[in-house]
C-alpha cells in the first residue's frame, strides 16, 4: 500500500519510529521519500520552546512553576503544550506550582530509582522511596521480589519475610515498611 502512494505528492505519510524501518520497509528510506529525524529538545532549546509556547498562549507563570513543567514534561512536547493550553483557560493572573499540582501535574519518579532508594542507609531517603513505591500501584509482591534480587546481602532476612508472608503472618506491604525502617 505504501509503495502505491510514493509518487502522489498530495499524500503525506508520517511514520514515527524510534529505529530504522525493518528490511521490508527499506524503500521508505530511498528517494523520493523525505526522511527527517526530530531530536528531543534539551537544555536551552527546550527552555526556548517552552517560553515561546507560554508567550503564544498568553500564560503568565512563575519561574519556579516553569522549571517544574520543564522537568515533568521533558521529551514530551505534546503533553507540555496540552498542559499550557489548560492553564490558558484557567484565567489566573499567574500560574504557580500549587496550581500545577491542583491540575494533577506531578513528576513521576523512576521505578528503578525508587528500588535503589531501599538500598540507601539514609532513613529519610528509604522512607521517601517506600512512600513512592506504595503510591505507584505496583504490586507489593513484585517490589519485594525485585528487592530480593537487588539486596543479596539481606537474603536471609528476605527469606524469613517471604516465609512469614506465605504463612499468613505478614503482608508484602508490611514487609516493605519493615525493610524501609531497617
Amino acid 126: pLDDT: 86
Amino acid 49: pLDDT: 94
Amino acid 1: pLDDT: 62
Which whole-number Å values give the CA distances from 166 to 67, 161, 171, in the listed order? 46, 9, 9
Which regions of the chain carry the CATH code 1.10.8? 43-102
**Cβ-proximal residues to 7 (8 Å cutoff; 6+ apart), any chain:** 32
User: Cβ distance 140 to 176 under 8 Å?
Assistant: yes
Amino acid 48: pLDDT: 92
Mean pLDDT in runs of 10 for the chain (182 residues)?
Answer: 70 70 72 70 90 93 90 86 89 86 74 78 86 81 87 87 93 90 84
Amino acid 108: pLDDT: 64
Amino acid 113: pLDDT: 76
Taking the C-alpha atoms of residue 150 and residue 17, their distance in angstroms, rounded to an integer, is 33
Taking the C-alpha atoms of residue 50 and residue 81, their distance in angstroms, rounded to an integer, is 8
Query: What is 43-102's CATH number, 1.20.120, 1.10.10, 1.10.8, 1.10.260?
Result: 1.10.8
Of 98, 107, 102, 96, nearest to 63 by C-alpha is: 96
Of 40, 110, 43, 137, nearest to 79 by C-alpha is: 40
Amino acid 8: pLDDT: 73
Taking the C-alpha atoms of residue 9 and residue 30, their distance in angstroms, rounded to an integer, is 16
Amino acid 55: pLDDT: 94
Amino acid 153: pLDDT: 84
Amino acid at each position: 500500500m505504501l509503495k502505491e502512494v510514493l509518487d502522489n505528492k498530495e499524500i503525506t505519510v508520517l511514520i514515527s519510529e524510534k529505529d530504522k524501518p525493518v528490511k521490508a520497509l527499506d524503500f521508505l528510506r530511498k528517494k523520493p521519500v523525505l526522511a527527517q529525524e526530530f531530536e528531543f529538545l534539551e537544555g536551552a532549546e527546550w527552555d526556548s520552546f517552552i517560553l515561546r509556547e507560554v508567550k503564544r498562549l498568553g500564560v503568565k507563570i512563575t519561574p519556579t512553576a516553569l522549571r517544574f513543567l520543564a522537568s515533568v514534561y521533558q521529551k514530551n512536547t505534546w503533553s507540555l503544550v496540552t498542559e499550557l493550553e489548560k492553564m490558558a483557560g484557567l484565567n489566573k493572573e499567574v500560574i504557580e506550582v500549587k496550581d500545577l499540582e491542583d491540575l494533577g501535574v506531578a513528576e513521576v519518579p523512576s521505578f528503578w530509582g525508587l528500588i535503589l532508594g531501599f538500598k540507601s542507609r539514609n532513613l529519610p531517603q528509604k522512607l521517601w522511596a517506600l512512600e513512592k513505591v506504595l503510591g505507584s500501584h505496583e504490586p507489593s509482591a513484585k517490589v519485594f521480589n525485585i528487592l530480593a534480587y537487588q539486596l543479596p546481602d539481606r537474603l536471609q532476612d528476605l527469606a524469613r519475610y517471604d516465609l512469614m508472608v506465605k504463612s499468613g503472618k505478614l503482608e508484602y506491604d508490611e514487609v516493605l515498611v519493615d525493610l524501609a525502617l531497617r
